[in-house]
Amino acid sequence: MKILGGVLAALALVVLVLPMLIPLPPLEDTQPAAELAEADSRFVNVNGIQVHYKEAGQGQPVVILLHGFGASVFSWREVLAPLGEGARVIAYDRPAFGLTQRPMPGEWSGESPYSLTAQVSLLTGLMDALGVEKAVLVGNSAGGTVAMQTALSAPQRVAGLVLVDAAVYSEGSRFGRLGPLLNSPQLNRWGPVFARSIAGEPGDVFIRSAWHDPSLLTPEILEGYRKPLRAENWDRALWELTKANGPHGLAGRLSELSLPVLVVTGDDDQIIPTADSLRLAEEIPGAGLAVFPACGHVPQEECPQAFLEAVQPFVDSLRSQ
């Protein structure tokens, strides 16, 4: 027993100490996010964070587009301008993604800027900064989570919701539940290195799984997804988001929604099961539903025409809201 105890103590020492001694591989070929901006990119300071956004159209209603995990404003490239023909449309990069500034540990006090609550505050702050009193929120996947939480937390700011394959029944990252372990010195040091896997084949597999027909993914589209992964500190920001991404409890609050809601989904969503969106439309009082055939998790990209035919009339109906 003494020998076994000694072996276990030695193993524990290795697990605790070795990760702190091995040199970290550097994150190479990165640059300031602003240097990756495009001609139509815009930036605005919100709650001390430089938020990257793009805009089309003018007038009422105002539509704000919220992308999902691993995406950016690039995800809305097919529908931003068409939606802007009849509304003012704003697409922005959520914290940890795209070209929005990535706060680093030590640069904030209190709650993480990557938490759901902070993301709601950032969205309403963005609305304030851009002179938007009320908006229709269109949220894809995890962007749908932020949109719904905003409608519950600040209902006076939301005219309607379009929930696009929204992550409502999936209770945040399973890693976020590990809490203290994720905040251990060892994982805090190596977590960003683990997060870098999204820049390789695992990330490409995830993107392909979001499409019903992956053959439609051109090299240009894949590059559009990879481009933000050249921004400084993207790996650390993704790790901070992982730590902050815990249970949100939205599935138990659907009856509280008393605004117009449209649920849309592809019929072959392999990330947020199509059945979840069908259930969501049933459980939200008065919600509409549109299901797109031969379409996956990102219908605004894979099936943009069907997406527009469903979403534009909904937005038009809220013109006086």
The domain that holds 113 is classified in CATH as 3.40.50.1820
Q: Tens digit of pLDDT for each residue in 304-317?
A: 999 999 999 999 99
Q: What is the pTM of this model?
A: 0.91
- Which pLDDT score, from 0 to 100, does residue 276 have? 97
Query: Is residue 24 assigned to a domain?
Result: no
Query: Is residue 291 assigned to a domain?
Result: yes
- Which pLDDT score, from 0 to 100, does residue 24 have? 67
Measured CA to CA, the distance from residue 62 to residue 157 in angstroms comes to 11
- Which pLDDT score, from 0 to 100, does residue 84 have? 97
Query: Is residue 25 assigned to a domain?
Result: no
- Which pLDDT score, from 0 to 100, does residue 194 have? 87
Helix (H) or strand (E) holding 113: none
- Which pLDDT score, from 0 to 100, does residue 150 have? 98
User: What residue ranges of the chain have pLDDT lower than 70?
Assistant: 1-24, 171-182, 185, 320-321
E-only strand ranges, 86-241: 88-92, 135-140, 158-164
Angle at 207 between CA 251 and CA 64, to 5 degrees: 55
Query: Is residue 5 assigned to a domain?
Result: no
- DSSP letters along 4-41, please? HHHHHHHHHHHHHHHHHHSPPPP--S-B-GGGG--TT-
Report strand pairing: 62-66 vs 42-46.
unpaired
Q: Tens digit of pLDDT for each residue in 244-301?
A: 987 899 999 999 999 999 999 999 999 999 999 999 999 999 999 999 999 999 999 9
Domain total in the chain:
1
What's the whole-number average pLDDT of the chain? 90
User: Tokens 């609550």, residue?
Assistant: 117
Query: Is residue 172 assigned to a domain?
Result: yes
Query: Is residue 228 assigned to a domain?
Result: yes
Q: Where in the sequence is the domain holding 290, given as residue range(s)? A: 41-317
Query: Is residue 19 assigned to a domain?
Result: no
Query: Is residue 50 assigned to a domain?
Result: yes
